[in-house]
Structure formats: C-alpha cells, structure tokens
C-alpha cells in the first residue's frame, strides 16, 4: 500500500516519492557534481581559453569579463542529477579588492554559486562556495603583437582616410586580425597585419567596396616546422 505520509516529517500532503515537497527538496539535489574549472585569461586583451583555443573577451571591463567568463565556463562543467532541470545559475565572484594582474599571475577567488531548478516539479535551490583560481597568461595574438609580428603588409595607394578607417574598423571585428603597425608615406600607407588569410580577405573586401585593383606578392621570411614561411604584400590601388 502506498504510504500517505511523508517518511521524514509525517506530513500528509502532495507526496513526491514518499516525501512531502519540503522534505523532497531537502533530500534531492540538482547538481550531481561539477568538474574542475580551469580558468585562463589573457592579461592583455581579456580573451580566455576554451577547449584549447582563445576566445574573444566577454566584456571590456576586467571584472565583468572575469565574471562572464567564469559563468560561461562553469555552465559546461556542471553535471545534473537524473531528472533535474536547471532553470538558473548565478555566480557571484568575489574578487580581491585590488586586482593586479600580469603575465603568469594567479588570482584566488571565491565563487558563490546559486543553482535554481526543479526535480519532478519540486522547486529546488542550492548554493555552493567554490574556491578557485584564475590564471593569467598572454594569448597567442597578444604575443604576436608584442613581437611586432606581421604576416602581411597591406599597401593603400594613394592615401585615403576612408579606406584606412575602414581597415582599422574591419580589424577590430576579426578575432585574429590585428594591425601591428602603420607606416605613412607620401603616396600612401603600409598597414602591417597579423594574419595573412584574413589580410587577403580584407583586400578583396576593399576592392568590392572602394573599387580599384588588388595585387598580391609573396616573399619568404623564414622557416617554421621545416616549411618556408611567406610574408604577403597586398597592394590596393584605388581608382582616382
Ligand atoms: Zn516531509
Ligand atoms: Zn590577448
């Protein structure tokens, strides 16, 4: 015969698996466990490591970025108990008052995690405190930039402010494309770009948008992993 009373407190209402709703919520948890969190953030641009690749920062503000990165990464680390439905995950990241970061610095933080959801229609709220570490490092792009690295030189001929502005904005929207430096000449600008394929795409975009002619040449500048590495020069000759 079915038990009509809560096995824990003896209440006789709305039984779920022989418990009243209150006791059911106490007996069951949403989270089975969470896997260890590995947080690596670039000290320079705020991008973060996700499955071994660098992702663009989540927010321009350092502290907000850290909070959002943690929330994003943590979301993937939680393992729910069978039947648990997650409705909301809040994480309050307690950062040190004076946050000083640099390459290789490690910051200890305390995560106050609030998990809200349900099992069998019973609302359950849980909270956890998880001490964790944020490791700061320099991402590949920033490393490249610091070494004045470039893979392509985009020559804009003649000078055209609109085109230069467009190039600058375009690079800001591409994750791997950065301007390492710009050289000014009487007859135009040389814009040094971090990534060759993206630079080539940019050349094509400029041609479509501003007209004119785009030509590319290549020069060997070294060897890497037994292969020749080329630097490209892309000349954009604008119509007059
Ligand atoms: Zn009960
Ligand atoms: Zn970076």
Per-residue pLDDT for the chain (240 aa), expressed as one digit of tens each? 566 899 999 888 788 988 999 999 999 999 999 888 899 999 889 999 999 899 999 999 999 999 999 999 999 999 999 999 999 999 999 888 888 787 778 999 999 999 999 999 999 999 999 999 999 988 888 877 776 778 999 999 999 999 999 999 998 888 778 888 899 999 999 999 988 999 999 999 999 999 999 999 999 887 777 778 789 999 999 987
What ligand has the least distance to the C-alpha of 17? 1
Q: With respect to residue 8, please indicate whether it lies within any of the assigned structural domains.
A: no
Domain-ending residue, one of 139, 165, 183: 139
Cα(116) to ligand 1 centroid in Å equals 20
What ligand has the least distance to the C-alpha of 48? 2
Q: Could you tell me which residues come within 8 angstroms of residue 17 by beta carbon, excluding any fewer than 6 positions away? A: 24, 120
Cα(143) to ligand 2 centroid in Å equals 7
pTM: 0.60
78 and 163 part of one domain: no
Q: With respect to residue 68, please indicate whether it lies within any of the assigned structural domains.
A: yes
CB atoms near residue 29 (< 10 Å): 17
The Cα 120–Cα 17 span in angstroms is: 9
Range of the structural domain that residue 188 is part of: 148-237
What ligand has the least distance to the C-alpha of 136? 2
Cα(13) to ligand 2 centroid in Å equals 57
* pLDDT value of position 111: 94
Q: With respect to residue 232, please indicate whether it lies within any of the assigned structural domains.
A: yes
What ligand has the least distance to the C-alpha of 44? 2
What ligand has the least distance to the C-alpha of 47? 2
Edge-first strand order for the sheet with 39-42 is 53-55, 48-50, 39-42, 122-137, 106-119, 84-94
Cα(55) to ligand 2 centroid in Å equals 9
Secondary structure (3-state) at 14: coil
195 and 120 part of one domain: no
Number of domains in the chain: 2
């Amino acid at each position: 015969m079915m038990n009509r009373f809560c096995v824990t407190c003896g209440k006789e209402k709305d039984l779920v698996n022989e418990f009243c709703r209150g006791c059911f919520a106490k007996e069951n948890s949403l989270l089975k466990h969470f896997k260890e969190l590995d947080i690596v953030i670039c000290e320079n641009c705020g991008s973060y490591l996700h499955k071994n690749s660098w992702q663009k920062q989540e927010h321009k503000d350092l502290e907000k970025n850290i909070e959002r990165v943690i929330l994003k990464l943590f979301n993937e680390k939680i393992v729910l108990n069978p039947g648990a439905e997650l409705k909301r995950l809040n994480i309050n990241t307690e950062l040190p008052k004076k946050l000083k970061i640099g390459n290789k610095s490690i910051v200890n933080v305390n995560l106050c995690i609030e998990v809200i959801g349900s099992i069998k229609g019973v609302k359950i709220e849980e909270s956890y405190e998880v001490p964790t570490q944020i490791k700061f490092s320099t991402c590949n792009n920033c490393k490249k930039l610091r070494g004045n690295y470039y893979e392509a030189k985009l020559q804009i001929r003649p000078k055209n402010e609109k085109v230069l502005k467009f190039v600058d904005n375009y690079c800001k929207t591409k994750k791997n494309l950065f301007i390492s430096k710009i050289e000014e000449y009487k007859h135009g600008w040389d814009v040094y770009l971090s990534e060759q394929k993206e630079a080539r795409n940019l050349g094509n975009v400029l041609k479509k948008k501003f007209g004119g002619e785009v030509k590319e040449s290549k020069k060997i500048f070294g060897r890497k992993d037994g292969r020749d590495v080329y630097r490209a020069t892309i000349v954009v000759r604008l119509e007059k």
